[in-house]
Chain A
């Protein structure tokens, strides 16, 4: 591997590694998502600064020009990272769906709690999911409209 391209690769991965570390330090990147980034930076930095390992690897997978192997490894990490994020997004959207449903159901319940009960002086100690109670509140709302 040429000196210049090696220097460039080391600089680029070094900057990436420092950026990731800095983001974690500032709490802009959660450790759980930083781990994969750190792993890929360390592996890429290792391959860039140790030409012996890189040329061994490129020979193994049949690549004539070792820097290309570096690209392939980097590309593999990018794919893994993207998949990781797709899974994370799926989990988040599942969680926000549950939140939205609970919020809507609670709002519906609170709206009924806010309405005054029909019978004045009647002790209103029942929880609103009791069947009789529900119907009574329903009519209370319709008549107050």
Chain B
């Protein structure tokens, strides 16, 4: 039988954890086809994922998280999936929680994206450096103001998208550190989102894509994106536009 749901795992050098994540998804999230987007890994992430039973799309070189996830959106759009989930390759996310995300998709009213938040649980214990937590809360406060509804965890990469969101992000998705900007894009395009509490684990292994040195760049880049995003021309390429690539529109 075939599923109408796709779980996309962007993975860059995650051979330590990828097999566990794929197996956990197949076991605890039945109803989801599993697609690993191998973002130009130099280890055997791709072949390990294939052996674990996932479909694998291998990018020829490292595009960064934004480009990898967008490849997943394009795959989901072209294969006509109804829903697409995004799950981290490092084992932070519990595949069993996808059921909770799916249940929140049209309850109490339909939304286009459901985002798993680690800060909404009562017993939340998120082991991260204070600097990163501060950053997340700054983004959350700013974004909540802009969007006009409370958002607690805008950097979470544990998300479920419906067809409208898939089509939007397949056309245009932010380059690096895309999660925060994606929330802003949804808002600009009048798509709606909701957060649900999920539990998150510490990384199962490997190295986070956001090292301490990069987190300053992360902060500045996302803040710039948020401030510019308010005044920016629509970033998306719409049907009938001049060029198929968004940067060319602005040229």
Contacts and interface: CB of A to CB of B under 8 A. Distances in A.
A17 B159 CA distance: 55
Interface residues of B, number: 30
Contacts of A142: 53
Contact of A105 (B53, B61, B74): B74
A139 B175 CA distance: 34
A94 B246 contact: yes
Interface in A105-145: 105, 107-108, 129, 131-132, 134-135, 138, 142, 145
Interface in B162-220: 175
Given A104-B58, A105-B57, A94 B245 contact: yes
Interface stretch (B13-21, B75-83, B134-142): B75-83
B45 to A, nearest CB: 14
Given A94-B246, A94-B247, A94-B248, A104 B71 contact: yes
A: contact size bracket? 20 to 34
A107 B59 CA distance: 9
Nearest to B54: A138
B132 interface: no
Contacts of A145: 51
Contact of B2 (A87, A98, A104, A131): A131
A43 B58 CA distance: 50
B71 A101 contact: yes
B251 A129 contact: no
A93 B75 CA distance: 21
B251 A91 contact: yes
Given A105-B71, A105-B74, A134-B79, A87 B251 contact: yes
A145 B51 CA distance: 8
Given A91-B248, A95-B245, A100-B63, A131 B71 contact: no
A103 interface: yes
B1 A135 contact: yes
A97 interface: yes
Contacts of A19: none
A101 B70 contact: yes
A101 B63 contact: yes
A94 B237 CA distance: 12
Interface of B: 1-2, 4, 37, 51, 53, 55-61, 63, 67, 70-71, 74-75, 78-80, 175, 244-248, 250-251
13 contacts: A87-B250, A91-B247, A91-B248, A95-B248, A101-B59, A101-B67, A101-B74, A104-B37, A105-B74, A107-B58, A108-B56, A108-B58, A135-B2
